[in-house]
Structure 1
């Protein structure tokens, strides 16, 4: 199929020429915008901040306004796509409704782009972005020229979206607000199901699991479900519905019942080595990764499973995984600095940026850092993401964050949520200190320059400094890359 049809030339949407994206700079929205302009649509949009994605989109000829204004919505716009972060009182959204311009969600636009393709979707609370990128690089190295949209930026190529010419479309599927139900994957990968985004599921994980089941049942008989059964909720979902699911199922993980079993995992510095056993053929292969962490071994195993389902060459799969360099803001080593008082060459501080904002993800970050640098102190600067998440997972945050040696807490990144009592950073810091394991400090300075200077003044050397969170904490960590903290006073 892919050798006969050039999927770049799929007919455009009827009577649609100019498409405007509100929130165009977000990872998912930016990827859609890039695919749309590559397909020949006129594309414009708005956002509140400039970032790598908006700069890249502007270089492609997309007009972007960095403020949401009524005048941005012109009469020639045929379709408006909105991010899930856009509120009902957004002025552009209000005027678009008055002008009777068709408005659709990000995922509906994604579904429209994908409908003619062989769809490979990756969903789950953690690991979506890295797994998506791994699969994309394997398929690309195999000469299959896939289309993909990712929630993060690849370190090596700086790609976050690409329009290929083959039938394959690889992307994340977001379960956070049930939007993944609009997609109809050929292959659906489920990395894990967690107590995350439960506000959309009546705070009931059983409802979340039933929604996953509904999503997986969309997969056709010639497709496949690929699911990690190390995760207890994944395992229970498959076990409970084994006679109810008619689709092909490939399970993976270190669990003894896995169809593709991960074993003999070893962490050697920043590199990872492990083996996988394919139970069907009883063949075993060694996989080497250039990125750390057991979670990435699981991500690689998922990528291996989907590649083998499509009969890709084993040597190419293993080569691609070995060469994979990771995603920006996923255990991303930024720089090495010295403390104010240099005692010796060994007293450096390694600075890391990580996007993880759920206790499970933070725990993985901490465990990975401890394995790589067992003799260094671990300092974490954490920015909680959303008051609702902090409230719902408070006891887990307290437990996990108490595993570091020193903790600095920034104000909650609200993501548009209103304040919730006893779900803010000051309260979280208080509860951690009551546990008595470490001392947590809530930092409430006016700007990131002051915060950077304060944190720098507390560094002694021989430390790992991790900036953790999904909000704008990367604006703080970037100051350490550029050394813009040494002459600042708080």
Structure 2
């Protein structure tokens, strides 16, 4: 079968021309908007804040409102796509229903985009964005010209979405709101499953796992499930359910029973290298990465595995992985503050931005930083993301955040949630202080400049400063560098 097709560029949904996005700058939303715009639809939307994605969409000629209000919704809008973060009391959503404008979710629209393609989805609690980007760059380098939608922006090309000319469609599949169940890919990767977004699953991880299993059952017999065997919940799926699946099942990981096994991992500063063994073909290869961390070695192995399943040459895969420079806001080195006369630091200060907001992700960030800079003090500015997550994982947060040398706690980024007692930054501060390993500092300021200046005044030099969180904390880190 040829890889080049034209149906996705010409196919149009009947009677749909103007599509409006509520929350257009959100993760995954902007990518869908960009693909639909490239396919010829009229696109507009709204969001509460400006970011790199909204700026890119505006540069294309897309109208974006930064205040969500009734007057934005007009009779010439044929379809509205809502972010999962949009509540039912949103004024744009309310007026849309009064005007009988069809409203669908981000996941439903993503499924329709994938419908006419050879879909490759990447699921899991952590690593989706990086793995998706790695796969996209491999396929692009190989000449397959895939369509691609991602939740993060590539450092190499500044892309987060791309409309290709081939049959391949590569995208993250989000389990957080069960929207991944709309998709019907040919290949699915499961990076890991953890206690995250359990408010959608009756606070029961077994229900979450059953939904992953339900998604896996959508894979056709000629497709593949590629799953990391190192994760305990993935291992449970393999052992109890997936061992007799009708499609191709390929496991990867450091585990001795993995079909694609990683070994001899080494980290040299910011770079890393490791070997993989393809047991089926008795093939051993060395992979060099331009980014650090065991977790990125696993992400790269998942990307390698799906690429080999589609018969991409090993040399192209290895070259692409070696040239991969990561994702913006994923262990992203923003810059270095050098000693100056007016600021008498002992040595320079390295500033890093990281999107991780789950304790497991934060722990990986800390471990990676310790390996790269073992002789520097590690300072973390942490912005908790959602009251529900802080409540559900409180003790885990306390344990992991106590691993840094100095901790600054910002106020919780609610992401639209209502306040929950004993789940705010003050309570987290008290629990960490009570543990007694470190003495955290709770920041009450809410404006970016005051926070940035306060943090700057507490730095001494020879430090790694990590801004950690998925909210608007990146605006503070940008100010600190400036």
Give the TM-score of the pair, scaled to structure 2. 0.98
Query: 8 Å contact 2:339–2:346 — kept in the other structure?
Result: no
2-structure distance, mates of 1:213, 1:342: 59
1-structure distance, mates of 2:185, 2:425: 39
Q: 1:7 deviation in Å?
A: 4.5
Partner of 1:487: none
Partner of 2:128: 128
Q: Which structure 1 residue ranges, 5 or more long, are not aligned?
A: 483-490
**Cα distance change of structure 1 residues 48 and 344 upon mapping to structure 2, 3 Å threshold:** closer
Query: 8 Å contact 2:114–2:185 — kept in the other structure?
Result: no
Q: 1:4 deviation in Å?
A: 5.0
Residues 171-217 of structure 1: per-residue CA shift (max 9 Å, x gap): 00000111100000100000000000111111111111111000001
1-structure distance, mates of 2:50, 2:243: 50
RMSD: 1.3
Partner of 2:246: 246
Partner of 2:337: 337
1:82 aligns with 2:82: yes
SS of 1:238 mapped into structure 2: helix
2-structure distance, mates of 1:17, 1:386: 36
2-structure distance, mates of 1:38, 1:192: 33
Q: 1:9 deviation in Å?
A: 2.3
1:236 aligns with 2:252: no
**Cα distance change of structure 1 residues 137 and 332 upon mapping to structure 2, 3 Å threshold:** same
2-structure distance, mates of 1:345, 1:69: 48
Query: 8 Å contact 1:377–1:463 — kept in the other structure?
Result: yes
Query: 8 Å contact 2:345–2:461 — kept in the other structure?
Result: no
SS of 1:375 mapped into structure 2: coil
Partner of 1:432: 432
Partner of 2:393: 393
Alignment of 1:394-409 (within 5 A): 394-409=394-409
Q: 1:5 deviation in Å?
A: 2.0
Partner of 2:164: 164
Residues 305-363 of structure 1: per-residue CA shift (max 9 Å, x gap): 00000010100000000000000000000011146777988611000000000000000
SS of 1:112 mapped into structure 2: helix
Partner of 1:356: 356
Q: 1:242 deviation in Å?
A: 4.0
Partner of 1:12: 12
Partner of 1:55: 55
Partner of 2:271: 271
Partner of 2:215: 215
SS of 2:234 mapped into structure 1: helix
Partner of 2:368: 368
Q: Which structure 2 residue ranges, 5 or more long, are not aligned?
A: none
Partner of 1:109: 109
Query: 8 Å contact 1:125–1:192 — kept in the other structure?
Result: yes
Residues 242-279 of structure 1: per-residue CA shift (max 9 Å, x gap): 45422210000000000000000000000000000001
Query: 8 Å contact 2:4–2:165 — kept in the other structure?
Result: no
SS of 2:28 mapped into structure 1: helix
The alignment of Structure 1 onto Structure 2 pairs a total of residues equal to: 482
2-structure distance, mates of 1:97, 1:440: 47
1-structure distance, mates of 2:314, 2:69: 52
SS of 2:131 mapped into structure 1: helix
Q: 1:74 deviation in Å?
A: 1.1
2-structure distance, mates of 1:121, 1:228: 14
Query: 8 Å contact 1:433–1:440 — kept in the other structure?
Result: yes
Q: 1:8 deviation in Å?
A: 4.4
Query: 8 Å contact 2:251–2:258 — kept in the other structure?
Result: yes
Partner of 1:259: 259
Partner of 1:378: 378
Partner of 2:139: 139
